[in-house]
Amino acid sequence: MLILTCPCCGVTAEETEFHGGGEAHIKRYGPGSSDDEFHGYLFEKVNPKGVHFERWRHANGCGKWFHAARCTVTLEVFGTYSAQTTEPPQDIKDKISAKRPGWSWREFA
C-alpha cells in the first residue's frame, strides 16, 4: 500500500484518499515548439523501475496538488513537497541519495 503525506494539510493517508496526476516536472511545449518537442512532452514518459517523481492531488482531502518522490518497486515514499516548483528540492534529493546512492531521474541526480 502506498502511504502519502500531503504537504499542504499534513494528513497521512493511503493512496485512495489521493489521486495520481502522472509524472512530475514535465516541461510543457505549446505553440511555437517543434513537432519533436511536442511529441516528447505528450508521449515520452520515463516510467522507471525505482526512483520516480510524480504529481498527486489530495482529492478527497484538502484538494491541493503536491509532488511526491517515491520508489516504484517498494512503494517507499522518500518525501512529498510543494507543487510550486519545477524541480525536486535539495532536501528531497538528499533523502533519496541516502537510500538509493547513485540514483538519477531525467536531468536530476
Partner 1 sequence: MSESVSALGGASHEGFVRAEDMGLRAMITLRGDLASAKLRKAVKGATGLDMPEQRRIAVADDRSVAWMSPDELLILGPYSEAGTLRETLEKGLAGEHALVADVSDARALLRVSGGTGVREVIAKLCPVDMAAEAFGPGQFRRTRMAQIPAAIWMPDEQSVQVICFRSVAEYAFNLLRNAAAPGSETGLFI
Interacting residue ranges for Zn ion, rule: CB under 5 A: 6, 8-9, 58, 61-62
List strand residue ranges (DSSP E) for the chain, in order.
3-5, 12-14, 19-23, 51-57, 65-71, 77-82
Cell of 106: 531525467
In the list 64, 95, 100, 106, the residue contacting partner 1 (rule: CB under 8 A) is 64
Task: For residues 17 and 62, give the distance between their C-alpha atoms in angstroms, rounded to a whole number.
Answer: 10
Instruction: Find the shortest distance in angstroms from Cβ 76 to partner 1.
Output: 19
Q: Give the position of cell 510550486.
A: 84
Enumerate residues 73-102 that contact partner 1 by CB under 8 A.
Answer: none
Task: For residues 68 and 51, give the distance between their C-alpha atoms in angstroms, rounded to a whole number.
Answer: 11
Minimum CB distance to partner 1 smaller for 60 or for 104: 60
Task: For residues 76 and 50, give the distance between their C-alpha atoms in angstroms, rounded to a whole number.
Answer: 10
In the list 14, 36, 44, 94, the residue contacting partner 1 (rule: CB under 8 A) is 14
Return the one option of Zn ion, partner 1, none that residue 63 interacts with (CB less than 5 to 8 A, by type). Answer: partner 1
Minimum CB distance to partner 1 smaller for 2 or for 26: 2
- The residues of the shown chain that bind partner 1, judged by CB under 8 A, are 8-11, 13-14, 16-17, 59-64
